[in-house]
Chains A and B, each alone.
Chain A
Amino acid sequence: MVTLLAARSQMGMSLAFHIIFAVIGVSLPLMMTIAEWRWRRTSDPAYLLLAKRWAKGTTILFGIGAISGTVLSFELGLLWPRFMQYAGPVIGMPFSLEGFAFFTEAIFLGIYLYGWNRVPGWLHLFAGVIVSLSGLLSAIFVTLVNGWMNTPTGFRIVNGQFADIHPLAAMLNPAGIPEAIHMVLAAYTAAGFATAGIHSWLLLRRGRNRFDELAIGIALAVGGCAVLAQSISGDALARMVAHYQPMKLASLEGQFRTETGAPLRIGGLPLPEQRVTKYAIEIPDGLSLLAFHNPHARILGLDQESETDWPNVRMVHICFQIMVGCGSLLSLFALLSAWFAWRKRPLSRQPTFLKTAVLVSPLGFIALEAGWMVTELGRQPWVIYHLMRTKDAVTTTPNIAVTFLGMTLIYCVLGVIVVWLLSKHVIAQPDRQQVEGSGVLA
């Protein structure tokens, strides 16, 4: 049991860090490519400076993300050898494809970063596009694996073994695609709003300048579009969960009793001992309506499953509320910004807007982490939903607590240094030379 807890903690910690590096590594290339494209169209040097700054950020994050990704690929085997032994062949397809997508990303990132003066302009821009696309594909492939752990398909079970394995059917499992879309949009949302927030803060400190204004424009466009699409994607994902993983939905929503016309709970604290979720704002028929698009639909409650197989309902429900809450606030902010941008003066001249942008900037990342807590904790006690328990997948290696502590320490140090490096390279004030004569700062 101690090994299980340590292994879960180590995996969770590695994922929690990796997801931050990976998300920035997926979305910064998109923003950097947009900036370069704008520069090639407008010859505005501020765009070029922005592209170069974001490219530096991408390098730092890609380097660290590649390392934390390698750590995860090893940890799959080191911590969960039994899971990999049985599931490896079934979920190998997306992992293999991810390997090639990762290759492509690394190759073209190398060309992008070090090729400014070595390759023709169109090839450079093309390299940026390929980096953005392959980062996107990597994220999709990896999330497809997580989808399979939630809705395993593409095999039969014969004598406790996987048989008739169809790697493509396993890859295209029901949860995979909705989850992958949700993840990709979450990446753009989190990085977009965080970047917009950072540049708003800088704009407030430095005074008006084109560099920060253009940065906010691109970042907010990326993040805003993504968060608005996220509501559709979230709805699709929730309906998938309702259909394939009703018990997971029940723990997301704190639904203990099976009932028709189940209410949607906003906030609230599930009390598993009393089998009730208290202090929530309840919208009558809301959950039935959202989950099955029918106000009288029957929603299965946790009473359908033995309590020993419940996930940590309280944690799952709270994380879910945090994710939805942050997403809603960001959507509201995106809509308001769009409206103000259309109706009023440029947003960058409105201190209230800038201050709000700073305030909401961490919400995307909070939602992202909370969302992964929901999907991972909500799947427990299973590593492969209703097929293999997490405790049966864990390694026999002793002293995992030691590696967990060691890794945590290393990751914390890494995190601090990465933040410091980013502050030096990506968001630092453009120096005099870059500014003077080029009209970068208005």
Chain B
Amino acid sequence: MNPPMILAGIIIAAVIWYCLLAGADFGAGFWDLFCSGPRADKQRELIASAIEPVWETNHVWLILVVVLLFVGFPSAFSTICIGLAVPLFLILLGIILRGSSYVFRAYFTGNIQTQLYWGKLFSIASCATPLFLGIVIGAISSDTLVLTDGVPNRGWLSTWFHPFPVLVGALSLSLFAYLSACYLTLEAEEPQLQEDFRRRALFAGFVSLLAAFATYAAAGVFAQEILNGLSRAPDVWLVELFAAIASLVAFQGLWVRSYRRARIAAAAQVGLIVLGWGVAQFPYLVRPRLTIAMAAAPVNVLVDVEIACAIGGIVLFPSLYLLFSIFKAHRRSVVSKDAVA
């Protein structure tokens, strides 16, 4: 392991954290759009109370990824920012609209209709953002991102707007929705509400499987190199195998209503899928030109940043643990105590 690899490892770890935490917040926004039936209001309340204390913290993982990318791999960052400017601007638009409409919905005191309107905007932006995040991931995996004199060879649109990235986008959205529904089964207090999100989790999990197969098939036509990476034995196989096992456990857990198990397994499944992508993409950062080694900043810079990350991590992880233990782990006991009081 040399410093560029370690930093690449830190970045992929941050991406995984982002998917597991913020991804679920995006997924919650997706379900907010489809709250229905007699418990629609309760579903909405559950979603709001689940993401309220943590969504801003979860969002910071993305900023960390952006920062580490431009510090450690500046030429890759610059290539991505030029070649994928359009989807990145759309991600940005999605982040602005989602975050601000969330704040406005939460603090709006006027009539209920306007509040619902902000809620709609929040949900739509929550769906669009993961779609374009996935498109960016798909585009840097699919051999299409080559710049000549600061202009992408395949044009500003068709560099990213073709079946493979779009399918990766759909896959990301379905995985986030699945993950979120799995988490929400555990957050819900009432059995009926749990049942609502259990059905959604099973449905979204099924859709994500379809999307995964479609992506795999499309890779054979549009992204041969990453497909070769995916079928590289044995490290990628091992990750794929574990992801498959995790998904089976998650489905089984959902089926028998063992939600705690389902949540852990679903998180493991999504984490392993992202990790599998990272290993398959290795040694590239941006296919087909930029490898980790080529794009890396000087070694002493990388080492300094890694030390900064280590120090930051010493502060970050205990704080994160505190946050989640206050609002997530003890949720049940605290809420029941409140109810008694």
Contacts and interface: CB of A to CB of B under 8 A. Distances in A.
Interface in B291-323: 297-298, 300-301, 304-305, 308-309, 311-312, 315-316, 319-320, 322-323
Interface string A97-114: 111101110111111011
Contacts of A76: 70
Interface stretch (A39-47, A64-72, A434-442): A64-72
B327 interface: yes
Interface in B49-72: 52-54, 56-57, 59-60, 62-64, 66-68, 70-72
B59 to A, nearest CB: 6
B301 A89 contact: yes
Contact of A63 (B103, B305, B319): B103
Given A100-B315, A106-B60, A117-B338, A92 B301 contact: yes
Contact of A110 (B66, B91, B315, B327): B327
Nearest to B321: A107
B99 interface: yes
A232 interface: no
B202 to A, nearest CB: 31
Interface string A231-246: 0000000000000000
Given A64-B99, A103-B64, A114 B327 contact: yes
Contacts of A64: 99-100, 103
Contacts of A114: 52-53, 327
Contacts of A97: 308, 312
A110 B54 CA distance: 7
A96 interface: yes
A165 to B, nearest CB: 5
Interface in A339-366: none
B53 A113 contact: yes
Contacts of B304: 93, 167-168
A118 B52 CA distance: 15
A106 B56 contact: yes
A215 to B, nearest CB: 20
B6 interface: no
Contact of A403 (B89, B109, B308, B320): B89
Nearest to B86: A397
Given A93-B305, A110-B53, A398-B156, A100 B68 contact: no
A227 to B, nearest CB: 30
B319 A103 contact: yes
A98 B71 CA distance: 13
Interface in B40-99: 52-54, 56-57, 59-60, 62-64, 66-68, 70-72, 74-75, 77-78, 80-82, 85, 88-89, 91-93, 95-97, 99
Nearest to B101: A417
B56 A81 contact: no
A107 B315 CA distance: 11
A104 B107 contact: no
Interface centre among A62, A395, A396 (most CB of B within 10 A): A396
B326 interface: yes
Contacts of B103: 59-60, 63-64, 421
A96 B312 contact: yes
A73 interface: yes
B238 interface: no
A106 B97 CA distance: 19
B150 interface: yes
A103 B150 contact: no
A69 B59 CA distance: 11
A115 interface: yes
A406 B86 CA distance: 13
A279 B196 CA distance: 74
B99 A92 contact: no
Nearest to A117: B338
Among A69, A85, A111, A166, residue most surrounded by chain B Cβ atoms (within 10 Å): A85
Contacts of A268: none
- Chain A contact residues (Cβ within 8 angstroms of B): what range? 35 or more
A60 B101 CA distance: 11
Given A60-B103, A99-B63, A100-B312, A71 B96 contact: yes
A96 B68 contact: yes
Interface in A260-309: none
B96 A96 contact: no
Nearest to A396: B150
A63 B62 contact: no
Interface residues of B, number: 64
Contact of A93 (B85, B308, B338): B308
B102 interface: yes
Contact of B100 (A56, A67, A81, A89): A67
A435 to B, nearest CB: 18
B156 to A, nearest CB: 7
B67 A73 contact: yes
B96 A67 contact: yes
Contact of B107 (A81, A88, A93, A424): A424
Given A88-B74, A165-B298, A67 B85 contact: no
A119 interface: yes
Nearest to A98: B67
B149 interface: yes
A353 B289 CA distance: 67
Contacts of A108: 319
B285 to A, nearest CB: 14
A167 B57 CA distance: 27
A385 interface: no
Given A88-B74, A103-B57, A111 B301 contact: no
Given A107-B322, A111-B326, A165-B300, A63 B70 contact: no
Interface of A: 56, 59-60, 62-64, 66-67, 69-71, 73-78, 81-82, 84-86, 88-90, 92-93, 95-100, 102-104, 106-111, 113-115, 117-119, 163, 165-168, 395-398, 403, 406, 410, 414, 417, 421, 424-425
26 contacts: A66-B99, A67-B96, A70-B63, A71-B95, A77-B88, A81-B78, A86-B74, A89-B74, A92-B297, A96-B309, A97-B308, A97-B312, A99-B60, A100-B64, A100-B308, A103-B312, A103-B319, A103-B320, A104-B315, A118-B326, A118-B327, A167-B300, A167-B305, A396-B82, A406-B93, A410-B96
Interface of B: 52-54, 56-57, 59-60, 62-64, 66-68, 70-72, 74-75, 77-78, 80-82, 85, 88-89, 91-93, 95-97, 99-100, 102-104, 107-109, 149-151, 156, 297-298, 300-301, 304-305, 308-309, 311-312, 315-316, 319-320, 322-323, 326-327, 334, 338
Given A99-B67, A166-B300, 9 more contacts: A63-B56, A64-B100, A85-B77, A92-B70, A96-B71, A98-B67, A100-B316, A395-B81, A414-B100
